[in-house]
Amino acid sequence: MSAFQAENGGSIPLTRSIINCQLRIVNYELFKMIKCLNAYMIYAKMFICFLIVCSFFYINQTTAEQIDAVQNNKYSIFLDQPTIQKGYTVNAFNSELKLSLMPEILNQSTTVQIERINHEMEMPLELNKISEIYQFEFINKKAYNNHKPFYIQFSYNEISNNYKQVFFYDKNYTAWRPLPTKDYLEQKFVRSLIHLPFARIAVFENPQILTTGQASWYAYKNGNFAASPDFSKGSILRVYNIENNKFIDVKINDYGPHRGLHPNRAIDLDKIAFSKIASLKTGIINVKIEPLFIK
């Protein structure tokens, strides 16, 4: 033993032994930590794979549902009691069809189902179909009792000056029947009132009847009267001057002008009626006609 070892009581080998032991402990702890980290990495990879698989199935399921909806051409929405009390507008097929269900229209919660009809149907004679055919239904039969009509808004394909109406198919008569309709020409949609919980509906136009065209005046009975080549005597029409948006309600009491001689003439107004929406010096004006009552 050296003098240094003797002076320190032989502590150097003991110290080395302690250090070696501590190093083994540290190495063992590091080994355990690495092992745990590897395990965590494996679990993390497994979890990520799980999320990817779930996402794949969810995306495919959602896509399948969307494709199924397109193929079946169906739309449905459930309206609960708080919603129907506030009122709700059902907006289906990219706003092609809207049902305006104001408060008190429905009295119970219900599913509203709308379907695009693609199969062939017999169409009204001399009319052109300018929209899709849709069928709507309140699934809960007690939700609507016909006590109040509601508005439907229906988009159509192309702008024209012809007379447009919403028709519903009446199974009792196996025929299409018209609804009171207002045409919003610039926006390419019509609005109608309906009081049915179930209906198959479409927009048709009559190419023989003009609702946008020209109007002249004549002196006859000096009142709110007009002559029409399209609407029968006794009908009530609202005639708008397109230039200033003034309007007058007139009663049809005569026939004319002849469409063969004046193809763009929609109506002739009595002198008094004409003067309420334009100067008589104008002679001819551009008008829009809204039928209020058809005899």
Token pair in block for residue 207: 């190419």
pLDDT at position 291:
94
- Please write the tens of the pLDDT for every residue from 63-115: 333 334 444 589 999 999 999 999 999 999 999 999 999 999 999 999 999 99
Q: Of 209, 232, 250, at which residue does a domain stop?
A: 209
DSSP annotation of 136 reads E
Instruction: Give the chain's domain count.
Output: 3
Asked if pLDDT for residue 46 goes beyond 80, the answer is: no
pTM greater than the 0.85 cutoff:
no
What range defines the domain where residue 32 resides?
13-71
Q: Are 142 and 237 in the same domain?
A: no
Q: Are 83 and 181 in the same domain?
A: yes
Q: Answer yes or no: is 43 within a domain.
A: yes
pLDDT at position 6:
43
Q: Of 37, 53, 71, at which residue does a domain stop?
A: 71
Query: How many Cβ atoms sit within 10 Å of the Cβ of residue 145?
Result: 12
Asked if pLDDT for residue 41 goes beyond 70, the answer is: no
Mean pLDDT (whole number) for 208-213: 94
Asked if pLDDT for residue 52 goes beyond 80, the answer is: no
Query: Any idea what the CATH number is for the domain that residue 241 is in?
Result: 2.40.40.10
pLDDT bucket at 117, cuts 50 / 70 / 90: very high
Q: Are 272 and 177 in the same domain?
A: no
pLDDT bucket at 290, cuts 50 / 70 / 90: very high
Q: Are 175 and 78 in the same domain?
A: yes
Mean pLDDT (whole number) for 143-171: 94
Kindly give the pairing relationship between strand 133-138 and strand 128-129: unpaired
pLDDT at position 295:
86
The answer for residues whose C-beta is within 8 angstroms of residue 243's C-beta and 6 or more apart is 278, 285, 286
Q: What percent of the chain has pLDDT over 70?
A: 76
Query: Any idea what the CATH number is for the domain that residue 97 is in?
Result: 2.60.220.30
Q: Answer yes or no: is 176 within a domain.
A: yes
Query: What is the distance between the alpha carbons of residues 168 and 196, in angstroms, rounded to a whole number?
Result: 10
Q: Answer yes or no: is 6 within a domain.
A: no
Q: Answer yes or no: is 199 within a domain.
A: yes
Kindly give the pairing relationship between strand 247-255 and strand 225-228: parallel
- Please write the tens of the pLDDT for every residue from 140-154: 999 998 889 999 999
